[in-house]
Structure 1
Amino acid sequence: MRYGQIVIGPAGCGKSTYCQQIHQHCETIGRTVHVVNLDPAAEEFAYPVAIDIRELISLEDVMEEMKLGPNGGLLYCMEYLEDSLEDWLQEMLQDYTDDDYLLFDCPGQIELYSHVPVFRTIVDTLKIWDFRICAVYCLDANFVSDSAKFISGTMQALSAMVMLELPHVNLLTKMDTVPDKKEIDRFLDFDARLLANDLNQSTTSSMQRLNAAVATLVDDFSMVGFVPLDISDEDCIIDVLAQIDFAIQFGEDAEVKIPNDDVDEEEGGEGPQESGDCDY
């Protein structure tokens, strides 16, 4: 069994930074993680790239040869990847065996996860190849500065969840850049109907039925919740990785180690320790 994260989200939301930090953290604790670049428009990387889609196709070449714009060119690249899964991606992944852990750093065009079936095909194929996959949806915490923007981000995440049908962890990234973290607290455990009331105060009366419908939709699905990620806080990184590992049951076959409390006390220890949590 192989394991992986599909790291998705809008452009500029911190997907590559997340992959860098997870790779760096795992390297520090002696855990092997490989990063796969699935963004044909990527130019520079802060992490070692194990597999690079640009060896198959690049956005720059497609735009030049096909006379397409950035969005059309990116969609063409991903459809080309979809057609080349067994010819290219399967061959690239064949060297990774049981218990290998891969991060798939994906493009920032959200239509790929909510409207077109490209990534649904990719994740379904990875399942057939004996991967356990979790989708990690990144949303810039600075984007959720008010209820309207937060509802928009929530609907984007919900669309991806419904489309991909995977274990799913939604992250509020870039928490280290948020001026007042207390402003984000109400979005971490949010009530969609209260957010709809906020929307009613900032929109005309003609929009109230739409606001109520959106709130009801989010409440009815009851699927979307966000986990804060502050890359300057090691406890946050540990907490996020632990939640994802739990979602895909990574390490479930490892031998359970039961701490010996008597030995700990005799040696002056403090007994078993719990992992730290983010201070949010």
Structure 2
Amino acid sequence: MRYAEVIIGPPGSGKSTYVMSKKAWLSHRNPYIINLDPGNCNDKEFDYSICSISPSLMYQERHNVGPNMSTKCILEEFYTRIDEFFQENIEGTDHYILLDFPGQVEFFISSDIPNSIIGYLKSNGYSVVVVNLVDLVFFSNDHSLISSYFISTLCLCLLESAQINVISKCDNWKKLGLKYSLEDIASLECLEEMEKKKKIHEEMASFVLNQGLLAYEVLDYDNPDSVLNLQVAIDKASGLFFEDDYFATEKITRISSKDDVFSRYRPE
């Protein structure tokens, strides 16, 4: 079995930083980093960039379309060439693949391409985990918090793969003056209060809770326990964790409890 992560999440949530950190963190897994966001042409560190087909801005000017349509069309063009891409870059290797997807949520709701790419990887022997990164700032007020929960749940329902949801940039927790504790946000404990507020919040909170699927890991590069725990959660979802030599290969001697991870984010 080989393994892949599909990285999604709204713009500004740190997707590119995440995949680049993995290049060093998981160097022993021979990572292959793929940029599938044609709007991100700051891509020299990627092993492959979809901008080689066309940058989004150039496509918009050439075809007189907006950014969402250009992204959709360029990704569709990539998918028509995926056999050739796979044969030239992936086939016969032991790469751990990381795919950095565009941030437009509309793309995941309205397009078949994400599931087509996930399905292609699965058909070629890859266990795929979707990693959904959401910046902590999106949890700093009631409206954006419930919207983030709702969109994360939609992605869980629509994308045909295991999914790990992640609150990123948790090093900013003190600056943001959060209404709820990070622990309550990650575990959805604050939704009970949400259900007592505006009608729209009540309906969205009920939808999220009724699905019974959502929970979050946290990511803070200044907190090594959070980085390790997140990778272990991803590896459990993919099945890599259950390989006989996992702990020796990953050089893991101890996995912190969630309580240890969250202890850093509690008021003193």
TM-score computed with the length of structure 2 as normaliser: 0.85
Identify which of 131, 138, 148 aligns with 1:143: 138
CA distance in 1: counterparts of 2:39 and 2:262, whole angstroms: 35
Query: Any conservation in 2 of the 1:59–1:70 contact (CA below 8 Å)?
Result: yes
Alpha-carbon distance between aligned partners in 1 of 2:29 and 2:123, rounded to the nearest angstrom = 25
Q: Residue 248 of structure 1: which of 238, 246, 267 is its match?
A: 238
SS at match of 1:49: coil
Amino acid paired to 2:192: R
Q: Matches of 1:91 and 1:193 in 2, distance apart?
A: 51
Alignment of 1:1-280 (within 5 A): 1-27=1-27, 30-45=28-43, 48-97=45-94, 100-178=95-173, 179=175, 180=177, 183-191=181-189, 192-197=191-196, 200=197, 203=198, 208=199, 210-250=200-240, 252-255=242-245, 273-276=253-256, 277-280=260-263
Q: Is the 8 A contact 1:113 1:159 kept in 2?
A: no
Q: Distance in 1 between matches of 2:52 and 2:146?
A: 38
Q: Which segments of structure 1 move beyond 6 Å, counting only runs of 4 or more?
A: none
TM-score by length of 1: 0.82
- 1:107 Cα shift? 0.9
The change in CA–CA distance for 1:211 and 1:60 in structure 2 (over 3 A counts) is: closer
SS at match of 1:107: coil
Whether the 8 Å contact between 1:138 and 1:170 is mirrored in structure 2 is yes
> Is the alpha carbon distance of 1:56 and 1:96 closer, same or farther for their aligned partners in structure 2, counting shifts above 3 Å?
farther
Preserved contact between residue 146 and residue 201 of structure 2 (Cα < 8 Å)? no
Flag structure 2 segments of 5+ consecutive residues without an equivalent: 264-268
Task: Determine what percentage of the aligned residue pairs are the same residue.
Answer: 22
Structure 1: gaps of 5 or more residues: 259-271
CA gap 1:33/1:185 in 2 versus in 1, 3 angstroms: same
- 1:4 and 1:105 map into 2 onto residues whose CA distance is 11
CA distance in 1, matches of 2:61, 2:169: 34
- Residue 279 of structure 1 aligns to a residue in which SS? helix
Per mean C-alpha deviation after superposition, the further-off stretch among 224-233 and 49-58 is 49-58
Q: CA separation in 2, counterparts of 1:41 and 1:89?
A: 22
1:212 deviation in Å? 2.9
How big is the alpha-carbon RMSD for the aligned residues of Structure 1 and Structure 2?
2.3
Instruction: Say whether the 8 Å CA contact 1:4–1:101 is kept in structure 2.
Output: yes
Structure 1 CA distance for aligned equivalents of residues 144 and 241 of structure 2: 37
